[in-house]
Amino acid sequence: MSSQTEQNAHNDATVGRPRQDALYAVAERQAGYFTTAQAGSAGYSRSLLAHHAKGGAFSRARTGVYRLSRFPASPWEDLFIAWLQAGPDAVVSHDSALALFELSDVLPSEVHFTLPRTSSRRRPHIRMHTSALDPSDVAVREGLPVTSVARTIADVARAGMAGELVGQAIRQSLERGLTSEVLLRARAEASGGRARRLILATLGGTER
State CA 163 to chain mean position distance: 25
CA-angle at 31, arms to 28 and 33, nearest 5°: 85
Question: Measured between alpha carbons, how far is 27 from 35 in angstroms, rounded to an integer?
Answer: 9
Q: Which pLDDT score is estimated for 88? A: 86
Asked if 169 and 104 touch (Cβ cutoff 8 Å), the reply is yes
DSSP label at residue 1: -
Task: Report the Cα–Cα distance between both ends of the chain, in Å, rounded.
Answer: 67
DSSP 2: -
Side-chain half-sphere exposure of 170, counting CA atoms within 13 A: 29
Helix (H) or strand (E) segment spanning residue 65: strand 65-68
pLDDT score for 13: 43
Alpha carbon distance 27, 151 (integer Å): 28
CA–CA gap between residue 25 and residue 78 (Å, rounded): 20
Q: What is the 3-state secondary structure (H, E, C) of 118-185?
A: CCCCCCCCEEEEECCCCHHHEEEECCEEEECHHHHHHHHHHCCCCHHHHHHHHHHHHHCCCCCHHHHH
pLDDT reported for residue 11:
46
* Polymer length in residues for the chain: 208
> What pLDDT was estimated at residue 208?
40
For residue 9, the SS3 value is helix
Tell me if residue 66 falls in helix, strand or coil: strand
Helix (H, G, I), strand (E, B) or coil at 114: strand
Taking the C-alpha atoms of residue 133 and residue 20, their distance in angstroms, rounded to an integer, is: 34
pLDDT digits (tens), the chain, 208 positions: 444 444 444 444 444 578 999 999 999 999 999 999 999 999 999 999 999 999 999 999 988 999 999 999 989 999 999 999 988 899 999 999 999 999 988 778 899 999 987 655 667 788 999 998 999 999 999 999 999 999 999 999 999 999 999 999 999 999 999 999 999 999 999 999 999 999 999 999 544 4
Cα 70 from Cα 102, distance rounded (Å): 27
Q: Is the pTM of this model over 0.75?
A: yes
